[in-house]
Structure 1
């Protein structure tokens, strides 16, 4: 019995050390409003999503977007090849949240509440082709909303209200949660229909 308890304690310590060393755990956060591609996969609305359906909260990549971070065409997956299904435009068939230009409330759900530097929201340019992958060239160069967070840990759910720019047709919003004390950020792409 004592050997089993010791082995279990060592296993827990090693797991904790791994999480501490990498600055990462197996779960983190994603946008719920407008609903993100990873949430659509997790709730079964969209099929053939690969492993993201079991871990919608794990779209983590290097921070510093748009100057750094995931490569063009891999932005929605945070540059993580395991979640490449999120970058597939699916012929423009991702379900889209109906929105209007003007005031909109963005909502996040967190499963591991890392301290946050900020939250930034980017949108595709007018004339963007929904049949193409999201690249820096397809996005406005500046976020339309930046919410500084000053290294504070967010609650389990968090909302920001901002102003959606004038657009028509289908677009993608790229939400970026920059983690304060790791080299990473979390990426969440939401398809919207103006």
Structure 2
């Protein structure tokens, strides 16, 4: 945890220093989901191993915004098309990622931790459909076409810890995946987080 804390502080410091050279870094916002716990966060916690670089920077899964019309390519959604984070796309046999136990229709507080805040357009949460195969990397045709929860960012800078109350989708059972997308207001990018869930 100490290493991770230092890295977070380093990311913020590097961000502040990099404001003068934004051309080299198109977005200085970073964040990851802590509820439901994302694959990136499980890697950072050390709960799962063989995670590669993502264990040091769970906040960095950044890709073009506009999902599902744009954004990371199919099969590489959880890693945001970053080759260094490819472990996030690995389904690990369909049962290798820890799950968050949830219930369809329940009130749920979705949480993000932001290591660097940025003006926000919206937050969206997608869930997998009946076409989902947990043993295969995530593709768009495995997701319901519309998010089950959308939160307007109001073009405002959010706090470092964001909580959003919504309702888990009904009619789901067994192992599924929730894709959270944080869309930044004044860059071309968004942040993507995959969380494995079990609806029981």
TM-score by length of 2: 0.86
- Unmatched tracts of structure 2, length 5 or more: 1-14
Distance 1:100 1:18, change over 3 A: same
Partners of 1:30 and 1:39 within 8 A in 2: yes
Partners of 1:104 and 1:163 within 8 A in 2: yes
Residue 110 (structure 1) aligns with: 114
| Number of aligned residues | 182
Residue 156 (structure 1) aligns with: 160
Q: CA RMSD in A?
A: 1.7
Distance 1:156 1:184 in 2: 19
Residue 192 (structure 2) aligns with: 187
Residue 79 (structure 2) aligns with: 77
3-state DSSP of counterpart to 1:159: strand
Distance 1:62 1:50 in 2: 22
Question: Where do 1:54-133 residues align within 5 Å?
Answer: 54-92=56-94, 93-102=96-105, 103-133=107-137
How far is 1:134 from its partner?
Answer: 0.7
- Unmatched tracts of structure 1, length 5 or more: 1-11
Residue 36 (structure 2) aligns with: 34
Distance 1:21 1:79, change over 3 A: same
Quick check: which has more Rg, 1 or 2?
Answer: 1
How far is 1:165 from its partner?
Answer: 1.3
Distance 2:36 2:122 in 1: 18
TM-score by length of 1: 0.89
Query: 1:52-109: per-residue Cα shift (whole Å, max 9, x none)?
Result: 0000000000000000000001110111111111000001110000000122110000
Question: Where do 1:44-55 residues align within 5 Å?
Answer: 44-55=46-57
Query: 1:99-147: per-residue Cα shift (whole Å, max 9, x none)?
Result: 0012211000000101100000000013521101111000000000000
Partners of 2:18 and 2:25 within 8 A in 1: no
How far is 1:15 from its partner?
Answer: 4.1
3-state DSSP of counterpart to 2:55: helix
Partners of 2:122 and 2:183 within 8 A in 1: yes
Distance 1:13 1:149, change over 3 A: closer
